[in-house]
């Protein structure tokens, strides 16, 4: 049982992800979380108004199980298996957050100033969450998939558009962390 409750090394997790990707390739499937949003919109009838959502969502129902499994797995991981004592946060990260007036993460592994329940009381934080959500939704649609779909599935299938998207994700992340994040906070 101790093996399950400890943080796994990258080479174990990476190997398991590789096995899953080989299995998906074998069965002719592609992985990605954002494609499930399209399936959910189709299920509630969006295909009657927008042709993009007019497709056979039942052929993608296996992927909906991935989302449900991720939510259930995340819940169990946080509430029953989380042990933040074996995770070390880089001291440079802690000092960079302190310069922005954000306390170091404690037992939750994330800064309470950014992820606590009080963040939903501040209109600025709500606006940031809404704008960020719209930008992420637009970006994943414009890029033809999300980070997990392109970085894990697309790169393992050696798709050039996925390589371009992943490079764009990294550039966007660097711009956010080094330029926009200090301006916002």
Residues 138 and 68 in one domain: no
How far, in Å, CA of 171 to CA of 185, rounded?
Answer: 20
In a domain, 28, yes or no: yes
Helix residue ranges per DSSP H, 50-90: 61-80
Q: What is the Cα 107 distance to its own chain's centre?
A: 21
Position 160 pLDDT exceeds 90: yes
Question: Which domain, by its residues, includes 44?
Answer: 1-82
Residues 17-42: tens digit of each pLDDT = 889 888 888 888 877 788 888 888 88
Write down the pTM of the prediction. Answer: 0.65
Residues 99-115: tens digit of each pLDDT = 888 887 766 677 888 78
Position 85 pLDDT exceeds 80: no
Would you state the pLDDT for residue 183? 85
Q: How many domains does the chain have?
A: 2
In a domain, 92, yes or no: no
Out of 82, 100, 130, pick the residue that ends a domain. 82
């Amino acid at each position: 049982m101790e093996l399950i409750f400890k943080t796994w090394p990258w080479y174990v997790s990476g190997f398991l992800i590789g096995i899953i990707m080989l299995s998906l390739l074998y069965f002719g499937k592609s992985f990605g979380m954002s494609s499930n949003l399209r399936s959910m919109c189709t299920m509630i009838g969006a295909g009657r108004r927008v042709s993009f959502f007019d497709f056979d969502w039942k052929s993608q129902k296996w992927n909906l199980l991935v989302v449900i499994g991720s939510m259930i797995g995340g819940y169990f991981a946080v509430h029953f298996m989380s042990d933040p004592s074996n995770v070390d946060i880089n001291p440079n990260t802690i000092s960079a957050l302190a310069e922005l007036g954000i306390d170091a993460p404690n037992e939750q592994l994330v800064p309470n100033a950014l992820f606590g329940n009080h963040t939903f009381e501040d209109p600025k934080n709500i606006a940031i969450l809404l704008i960020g959500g719209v930008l992420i939704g637009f970006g994943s649609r414009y890029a033809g998939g999300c980070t997990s779909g392109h970085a894990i599935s697309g790169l393992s299938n050696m798709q050039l558009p996925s390589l371009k998207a992943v490079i764009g994700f990294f550039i966007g992340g660097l711009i956010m962390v080094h330029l926009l994040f200090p301006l916002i906070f």
